[in-house]
Homo-oligomer: A and B are copies of this chain.
Amino acid sequence: MSPTPEFEPIPGGVTAAAGFVAWAGACGIKPGAPEGKHDLAVVYSTEPAVGAATFTTNRVKAAPVRVSLSHAKAAQTRAVVLNSGNANACTGLPGLEAAKRTVRATAAALKISMREVLVCSTGRIGVLLPAEKIEQALPGILADPQGHGGAAAAKAIMTSDTVPKEIAVRLTLRGKPVTIGAMAKGAGMIDPNMATMLCVVATDANVSKELLQRALSDAVEHSFNRITVDGDMSTNDTVIALANGASGAAPLARTSPDYARFCAALTHVCRQLAKMIVKDGEGVTKFVEVHVSGAASAGDARAAAEAIANSTLVKCAWFGGDPNWGRILDAVGYSGARIREELVDIFYDGVSAVSGGVASKTPASRILEVVRRERFTVHVNLHLGSGEYTVYTTDLSTEYVRLNMGE
């Protein structure tokens, strides 16, 4: 993570930007959790704000996703309420009602309209969210107008995450210091949970809803959409951005260099959070960047990179520190990407393993040394065109299986 001159990393998370407050508290949703274990977070803009969001493309969508999909169309978005411990997925119409009750309680406590509230859930699936617990606890949690801070919120949304994930950066836009802060949760799914990825970004930039959505969609495409732990896509995945203009900066124009810099900073924030999610994946011992270049098209590059990153055989080999390039070539072969086997080169951290489709002359010990690292890059050059793609992924460990085999 080399510092980019365009923006400066600063401490803090989702409340780092001006005009944002966050609360965290316990509603008793997390099953079997100790009394007082936090399972609710609220992020709120004290000033009017615009919102943008991207959601899971899974055709099975959790109730909170359905509600947020609708509310995200509103001109203003001022709050996000998130619970952990229950995904409120596969819960039918009662689930939808529970999501709406959560939104209603939040809107009432904050004295804003329901349409200004988005909702996220993560945790156990197939079990109705006990909305009455949220209704009872919310007024108490939101009682302190100062809130509990971004760090507390980042912690409250954790499920099997081992560390909270937050980040903030500052940059100058239209001559004023502007902050982008964010929090996320990811990791995985201990029975019977889902591998839900949630992220809330809060910025005091002055940006229109349309340009915020454009920036967010692009940032997600280059960050959260490029990570994979097990290839399974959750029913609850949600990324939300709020922008309230509290920095006092003038509005960003679509074609301005400042908007481009805002987009770059937002992408950086999302990418750093995405990498934190991968590294904190369940049972992960290795962080691997898979880079495919020279593909006949960008789509081919993506197909090849994702086939490699999702191959259980490739991932098991990485876990064992085994540079099994045959499995990588095999995955590329069935990915659907056009290839000419005799042109394919494969490198581990720049060390040649395959040259022209056959084993290179590199001594095995040199490649072994790379694959035993905790972090390395696999680069596959197909030498057919200019298509490129990068995916961040992990190994597949015995611990992963153990964590996901249920009780």
A interface residues, Cβ below 8 angstroms from B = 57-61, 87, 89-92, 95, 125-127, 189, 191-192, 194-195, 230-235, 311-313, 316-317, 319-322, 324-327, 329-334, 337-339, 341-342, 354, 356-359, 396-398, 400-402, 404-407
* Pick from B234, B359, B401: contact of A398, CB under 8 Å: B401
Number of identical monomers bound together in the oligomeric complex: 2
User: In terms of DSSP, what is the predominant structure of the interface of chain A?
Assistant: loop
Q: How far is the CA of A333 from the CA of B195 in the complex (A)?
A: 14
Are the CB atoms of B326 and A406 closer together than 8 Å? no
* Pick from B194, B195, B326: contact of A90, CB under 8 Å: B326
Are the CB atoms of B61 and A330 closer together than 8 Å? no
Measured CB to CB, the closest approach of chain B to A231, in angstroms, equals 7
For A334, list chain B residues within 8 Å (CB): 57-59, 232-233
Are the CB atoms of B356 and A60 closer together than 8 Å? no
* Pick from B327, B338, B357, B406: contact of A324, CB under 8 Å: B406
For A398, list chain B residues within 8 Å (CB): 398, 401-402
Q: How far is the CA of A406 from the CA of B314 in the complex (A)?
A: 10
The verdict on A330 contacting B191 (CB below 8 Å), with A357-B90, A401-B319, A401-B398 known, is no
For A405, list chain B residues within 8 Å (CB): 316-317, 319-320, 322
For A90, list chain B residues within 8 Å (CB): 326, 329, 341, 354, 357-359
